[in-house]
Amino acid sequence: AQSVTQPDIHITVSEGASLELRCNYSYGATPYLFWYVQSPGQGLQLLLKYFSGDTLVQGIKGFEAEFKRSQSSFNLRKPSVHWSDAAEYFCAVAFTGTASKLTFGTGTRLQVTL
């Protein structure tokens, strides 16, 4: 069965510092990959997605992610974090033939210090 691993439960960065959140998936086929953000008490907002093509994808709010097939990874990056980026971040994967079912990682909570 497919699985998604986000090895960092909690990350703290200073405002203005760069950020990288890790995501690894386990499955034989090439997945469709997503990053979502969830603020406290809110639903999930899509930051970016990778379906095919260029392995470096740009998203909203200045985020980007790079798909590395050889490492089964889809890490999320931002060059300069803002205090408003503090939230929970979820990596998710989906595969054709599974009814667009998303499999999520356990999330990484980002704290931003001023």
Partner 1 sequence: ETGVTQSPTHLIKTRGQQVTLRCSSQSGHNTVSWYQQALGQGPQFIFQYYREEENGRGNFPPRFSGLQFPNYSSELNVNALELDDSALYLCASSFGLAGVREQFFGPGTRLTVL
Residues that bind partner 1 (CB under 8 A): 4, 32, 36, 41-46, 49, 51, 90, 92, 94-96, 98-107
Beta bridge partners of 11: 110
Q: Which is nearer to partner 1, 93 or 112 (CB)?
A: 93
- Closest contact distance (angstroms) between CB of 85 and partner 1 is 19
In angstroms, the CA 8 to CA 108 distance is 6
d(CA 60, CA 14): 20
Q: How far is the CB of 101 from partner 1 (least distance, A)?
A: 5
Least distance (Å) from partner 1 to the CB of residue 106? 5
Q: How many CA atoms lie within 13 A of 108 on its CB side?
A: 25
Please, what is the minimum distance in Å from the beta carbon of residue 15 to partner 1?
Answer: 25
Phi, psi of 19 (to 5 degrees): -135, 140
Residue that the structure tokens 């709010």 belong to: 61
Closer to partner 1 by CB, 74 or 90: give it.
90
For the chain, give the number of residues. 114
User: 67 vs 95, which CB is nearer to partner 1?
Assistant: 95
